[in-house]
Chains A and B, each alone.
Chain A
Amino acid sequence: MALSFKPIRPLLQTGTNAISRWLSYIGLGIGVLLLLCSIQMYINIQQMLKGGSIRKDGYDFISITKTVTNETMGQVEKNLFNAAEVAELKSKSFLEDVAPLEANQFQVELSAAGILPFRTNLFLETIDNSFLDTLPPGFQWVVGQTKIPIIVSSDFLEIFNVFGPSYNLPQVSQETASGIPVLITCSGDDDLEQTFQGQIVAFSDRINSVLVPKSFLDWANLTFKGKISEQSSRLYIKTKDANNPDLLNFLDQKQYKVNKDKTKFGRIKQVFQGIFSGLAVFGLLVVVLALMLFSFYLQLVIARSKESLRLLLMLGYSPGWLSKNVSKRFIPVYILIVCTALAFAQLMQWVFHHFVMYDRPELSTMVNWTVVLVAFLLALLSLITNYRLVKKLLYHLH
């Protein structure tokens, strides 16, 4: 027959100092509730702001530049990214990849080959193909080829269509624009000049530039200016989350300029995460305080039942068995406290999702599994703390 705690129970004087016991129960309940709600809100913010920026293939592509200040004005090299800075960015865990946007070193002029009375100075850039959102198969160039495939930002076409009519130019669709042959005249040192036929092969929503194949730009830079640029003024970063606080902190610290719109959710997220982290820490403190208060209550119970417990040890009761059974008495009440706090957290989440967020699909009405896990761990922590304390006190009794 298993050893029963039933005849031992009346020997523990637990009825005394009920106020201290109830205060610790209430404190623990409030602390756990605060902690669980903070964790749930933290998760809600993560989930709500996950889709806050333009994403393609699960990644954010953002252009960064150096901030040109009065001090750095006119010093081109200070406003360019060098190889070391690119390498540093590449080493960061919050970035998947980094690619410089290389620009032309020579002069470029574009005209519409007589179809449209249109002529402008232009810039050409190139970027690693993996950073392009649309990559048609014809986007390549070999030396000797007179036709250059071009990818243009769809914003540029939009702008052209806005100012075109005021210059008596027709508005054009993407399809028409792709069909218009343009002439690209490159000129460099020593009056070297060559005209190529350019053709728009795609429009990019991602990269605000006029892009040509890398092989062409490298060749042209070498041919017309005699060098390939090793520095670039713009970089594109590829990240899984443009709102990652680590990324934003890093960019701030380096004073790199970034599209604020793409990261504004991240800024809000930073603030809210700060608030809820603070609340979670506060909740944890309340839990610790409640556990301490309960430990005082337990010490009092042991002190008042000292003689009986000492006699039990003398009779041959094991201190381990006694500690386990004394702590076990509080399991139901601890589980009840944590379950009540969890139920309140669930109620709060339902109210938040239903009435505040009007059932937004990215949020869940149920609390996150992490919250349930934390609740379970807290109950376990409380029980282990009690067990260890009682065991220690019993050893001191002997």
Chain B
Amino acid sequence: MQLRIQQLLPSYFEQSRTQTSEIWGKELLFEKGELIKIVAPSGSGKSSLMNFLYGMRNDYNGTISYDEKTIRNLSLEELSRYRKDHLSIVFQDLRLFPEQTVQENLEIKRQLNPFHPVGKIKEMAERLGIGDKLGSTCSTCSYGEQQRIAIIRSLLQPFEFLLLDEPFSHLDDNNAELAMNLMLEEARLRNATIVFADLERIDFYPYTRLFHL
């Protein structure tokens, strides 16, 4: 699967942004297996870009297409199939079910299109240091714990593109590196592309291409 971005610019951004950005207003093609790093300061449209790529918002000019299929033209049913089989995401604002347990939150995603058996949930949770939290409701977990839950959730399905929107904002370097390694392993397992947007560069992400938003 390929991701093609053509002349993309949020409709609420001025055209002048295209002159300074390496993404807005450009023509880009992301191939399978690439590790993309997008560095962007606050307010430069990082979350907007991730939302556009995931088909959650359409308030932009230009086109985004996966394998020549324009994401804007997909029906809600088609979009849900893409999200189930080809695209995975870690939202900046995490978006968990606060009243469900950690296990339930993860199982809701896993059962949709199981890439791993149920046992893998515990294994991943233990690896990221939240193995003892599986029975707790998400609302009682700290931000850092919730962020790790959101990361594990994104890895329980098949995907060809993994979109990361500031996935480590609440994690210390040690935990962030553990989580990154897990994501890299899982991406390699699927020969998938990672599109990683963050405020700054991080040392433990071996990106193949770097863009400044």
Contact = CB atoms under 8 A, between A and B. Distances in A.
A316 B113 contact: yes
B76 A398 contact: yes
Contacts of B34: none
Interface string B70-82: 0000001100111
Contact of B157 (A1, A313, A316): A316
Contacts of B157: 316
A319 B76 contact: yes
Contacts of A357: none
Given A11-B97, A308-B97, A311-B95, A316 B104 contact: no
A81 B7 CA distance: 86
Given A316-B83, A316-B112, A7 B107 contact: yes
A317 B111 CA distance: 10
Given A314-B95, A315-B83, A316-B113, A7 B77 contact: no
B80 A10 contact: no
A3 interface: yes
Contact of B77 (A4, A315, A320): A320
A395 B95 contact: no
A313 B111 contact: no
A3 B81 CA distance: 14
Given A10-B100, A11-B97, A398-B76, A315 B114 contact: no
A313 B75 CA distance: 12
Contacts of B56: 314
B112 A317 contact: yes
A193 to B, nearest CB: 96
B122 interface: no
B109 interface: yes
A318 interface: yes
Contacts of B100: 7, 10-11
Contacts of A395: 76
Q: Say which size band chain A's interface belongs to.
A: 20 to 34
B80 A313 contact: yes
Contact of B108 (A1, A8, A313): A8
Interface in A299-315: 308, 311-315
Nearest to A310: B95
A317 B97 CA distance: 14
A111 B165 CA distance: 118
Nearest to B96: A311
Interface in A1-55: 1, 3-4, 7-8, 10-11
Interface string A333-348: 0000000000000000
B107 A315 contact: no
Interface in B21-38: none
Interface string B112-131: 11100000000000000000
Contacts of B82: 316
B84 interface: yes
Given A316-B109, A395-B76, 6 more contacts: A315-B83, A316-B84, A316-B113, A316-B157, A319-B76, A398-B76
Interface of A: 1, 3-4, 7-8, 10-11, 308, 311-320, 395, 398
Interface of B: 54, 56, 76-77, 80-85, 95, 97, 99-100, 104, 107-109, 111-114, 157
29 contacts: A3-B111, A7-B100, A7-B107, A7-B108, A8-B108, A10-B99, A10-B100, A11-B97, A11-B100, A308-B97, A311-B97, A312-B108, A314-B54, A314-B56, A314-B83, A315-B109, A316-B83, A316-B84, A316-B85, A316-B113, A317-B80, A318-B80, A318-B81, A318-B84, A319-B76, A319-B77, A320-B77, A395-B76, A398-B76
